[in-house]
Amino acid sequence: MNVVLWGVLPYVMFVVLVGGLIWRYRYDQFGWTTRSSQLYESRLLRIGSPVFHFGLLAVIAGHVFGLFIPQTWTAAAGMSEALYHFNALLVGTIAGVGTLGGIIILLYRRRKTGPVFMATTNNDKLMYIVLVAAIVFGLWTTVASVFTNTHGMTYRDTVSPWFRSLFILQPDVAAMAAAPLAFHIHTLVGMVLFTIWPFTRLVHAFTAPLHYLFRPYIVYRSRDRGASVPARSGWSNVGTHDRDTKKR
C-alpha cells in the first residue's frame, strides 16, 4: 500500500501532468486561457483574486523552501531549528490563510454573481473542490503542528527526504510512510490536484507571461506564419445552449 501511494502514484501523477500539458499545448491552444470572468464582475474579483494569487505564490515559495532545502543546509547557515519553524509557521500561516480567504471570496462571488455562476462548468466545480481541499488540508498540517509539537518538526525528516528522493528515482517510501496522517492526506490531495491540472482552467499558470518583461513592445509577424494552423472547433452560435436547454 505504501509503495503504491508513495512509490508509484507520484510518478503516475507526473506522467499525467507532463503528458497532459504537452497534449493540451499541442491540441488545445484555443482552450488554454484564464477564462476570466472580470467582464461580468470586477469589484469582488479585484479583492479576492490578488489575495488568492499572491498568497498562492507565497505558499509555493514556502513549499519549495521546505521541501527542497535539507535540514543540514539551514543548520549550516546558522539557522536553528526553532527559528526555522517559527518562520515557517508565521509565513506559512499568513500565506495559507490569505490563499484560503482569497478563494473563499472568489467562490462566494462565483456563486452569488449570476453571470459568473452561469459561466462555471462542471470541470470548474470539480477543480474548485480539489483546490480548496488541498489548501484546507495544507493549512491543517501547518496549524496542527502548532498544537502537537512533534508534528511540525517531523516533515523535514519525513516528507522532504521522500520528496527529494523522488527525483533520483529512488523513492524513500519508508520516510513518507512515517509522516503523520495530515501530511499523507495533504500530499494525496495535492497529487490529485496536479493530476487534473492540465485538464482544467488551472493550465493558465503554466503560461504565466514572464517573457513579457523581455519581449519587444511591437510584434511583427508575417502572414505566412499561422496560415498552416489547422482548423479547430472554434466558436459557437449566439443563443447559448444553456438557455435553450433550460427551456425544454
Partner 1 sequence: MRVMAQMGMVMNLDKCIGCHTCSVTCKQAWTNRAGVEYVWFNNVETRPGQGYPRRYEDQEKWKGGWELNRRGRLQLKAGGRVKKLFGLFANPVQPELKDYYEPWTYDYRTLVDAPLGDDFPVARPKSLITGQDTKITWSANWDDDLGGTTQMGHLDPIVEKVRRESEDAIKLEFEQTFMFYLPRICEHCLNPSCMASCPSGAIYKRVEDGIVLVDQDRCRGWRQCMTGCPYKKIYFNHKTGKAEKCTFCYPRIEVGLPTVCSETCVGRLRYLGLFLYDADAVTAAASVTDPRDLYQAQMDILLDPNDPAVMAAARQQGIAEDWIDAAQKSPVYALAKVYNVALPLHPEYRTMPMVWYIPPLSPVVDLLRDQGHDAEDRDVLFGAIDALRIPVEYLAELFTAGDTDRVTGVLRKLAAMRSYMRGISLGGEADESIPASVGMDGATMYEMYRLMAIAKYSERYVIPKAHAEQAHDLEEMGCSLDFDGGPGMGAMGHSPFGEASGRPTPVAVETFHALQDRQTSDSVAGGDTLRGRVNLLNWDGNGAPAGLFPQRHPTEPPAADADDAVAGASGSGGGS
The one-letter amino acid code at 193 reads: L
Provide Rg for the chain, Cα atoms. Answer: 21
- In whole angstroms, the minimum distance from the beta carbon of 128 to partner 1 comes to 17
Cα separations in angstroms, 203 against 17, 116, 130: 10, 19, 15
- In whole angstroms, the minimum distance from the beta carbon of 214 to partner 1 comes to 9
Packing angle of the helix pair 122-147, 81-112 (nearest 10 deg): 150
- In whole angstroms, the minimum distance from the beta carbon of 233 to partner 1 comes to 10
Q: Could you give the CA distance from residue 149 to residue 152 in angstroms, rounded to a whole number?
A: 6
Longest distance between any two alpha carbons in the chain, whole Å:
70
Q: Which is nearer to partner 1, 2 or 36 (CB)?
A: 36
Q: What angle do CA 72, 73, 75 make, to 5 degrees?
A: 65
Q: Which is nearer to partner 1, 29 or 123 (CB)?
A: 29
Q: What angle do CA 218, 224, 227 make, to 5 degrees?
A: 110
Q: Which is nearer to partner 1, 6 or 199 (CB)?
A: 199
- In whole angstroms, the minimum distance from the beta carbon of 108 to partner 1 comes to 15
Q: Which is nearer to partner 1, 41 or 87 (CB)?
A: 41
Q: Which residues bind partner 1 (CB under 8 A)?
A: 26-27, 29-30, 32-42, 45-46, 49-50, 52-54, 114-115, 118-119, 204, 207, 209-213, 215, 217-224, 226-231, 235-240, 242-243, 246-247
- In whole angstroms, the minimum distance from the beta carbon of 96 to partner 1 comes to 18
Backbone angles phi, psi at 227, to 5 degrees: -65, -25
The DSSP secondary-structure symbol of 5 reads I
C-alpha cell at 168: 533520483
Residues 6+ apart with CB under 8 A from 117: 110, 111
Q: Which is nearer to partner 1, 78 or 216 (CB)?
A: 216
Q: Which is nearer to partner 1, 26 or 168 (CB)?
A: 26
Q: Could you give the CA distance from residue 169 to residue 159 in angstroms, rounded to a whole number?
A: 15
- In whole angstroms, the minimum distance from the beta carbon of 39 to partner 1 comes to 5
C-alpha cell at 202: 488551472
Q: Which is nearer to partner 1, 70 or 114 (CB)?
A: 114
- In whole angstroms, the minimum distance from the beta carbon of 62 to partner 1 comes to 19
